[in-house]
Structure formats: structure tokens, C-alpha cells
Amino acid sequence: MTTLTKRYSFAASHRLFAPSLTEERNREIFGKCANPFGHGHNYCLEVSVAGDPDTSRGLTMPRASMDGWVEDSVLDRIDHTHLNAELPEFLDLVPTSENVLVVIEAWLREGWHKHFPGQALRLAGLRLEETPRNSFRI
């Protein structure tokens, strides 16, 4: 079994803010990230898929197939959005990078069967880099 990992970039803005908390408490927890006007990141998403290479082509999966799946499932939804304001998943969920990664995983799993029906592959892992100093894995 081999694992293919590809990197994708997207830009998004958000405000770290829990509506159930006061402005003061949000500021204590999230610091400057609770700014009412929000802030943005240029994220890097790594997607890993595992499977046995196809014997005729020697590929775990065609790269274009993986790109189409990630673009359709994730990038078309999230790139250049304000997470809090434009994505229903974050109406009541604080868009921390941890939560963004959980939502991305759900989107990818939701699109799996459309893009890879009957293929013996599996989503092997995800990594989301928010900044050069902060990254998160599933």
C-alpha cells in the first residue's frame, strides 16, 4: 500500500468568536483573533490517500482525479470566503483551524463515493497549515 499526499492552497477569513460568550470573554480566549472585523489566512491543506498502485499504470490514483475531488469537495466551497458569514457549517461553530479541518474532512468524505466509486482507496490523513507556526492533523 502506498500513500499519495498533495498540497492545496486557499485563502479565507474568519473571526474567532463564540456567540454564547461575552465580547470580553471572547477577547480573553481568542485574543486579537476575536477582532469584530475578522482576519484572514492563506491556508495550506495536505490531503493523503492510501491504496495499492494500479498495476497497469503504477499509480495510487491519477493526480487529476484527486485534484477534481479536492476542488469539488473543498476548494470551490471555501476559497476566498468569510467562514463565519458565508458557510452554514460555521454559523454556530467557532471557525478555529481545528474545526475547519473537521469540516473539511466531512466534505471530503461526503464527496468520496461520487469521485471514487468502488475504488479500493481510503482517506489516509489531512493536515491544515494556518501559519508557518501552526498546523493541525487528522
> Given a cut of 90, is residue 45 above it in pLDDT?
yes
From first CA to last CA, the distance across the chain in angstroms is 19
- Asked if the model's pLDDT at residue 120 lies above 90, the reply is no
In the three-class reduction of DSSP (H, G, I as helix; E, B as strand; rest coil), residue 8 is classed as: strand
Residue 126 has pLDDT above 90, yes or no: yes
Answer yes or no: 80 catalytic. yes
We report the CATH number of the domain holding residue 22 as 3.30.479.10
Q: Is 130 a catalytic residue?
A: yes
* Active-site choice (23, 28, 39, 80): 80
Compute CA 108 distance to the chain's CA centroid, rounded to the nearest angstrom. 9
**Which pLDDT value is given to residue 3?**
96
Question: How would residue 88 be classed by pLDDT, with cut points 50, 70 and 90?
Answer: very high
Residue 5, pLDDT above cutoff 90: yes
Catalytic residue among 33, 46, 82, 105: 33
Q: Which three cell numbers stand for residue 73?
A: 469537495
Average pLDDT, the chain: 95
Mean pLDDT of 5-31: 97
User: Do residues 123 and 46 touch, judged by C-beta distance below 8 A?
Assistant: no
* Domain housing 133: 3-137
Task: Count structural domains, the chain.
Answer: 1
* 118: pLDDT strictly greater than 90: no
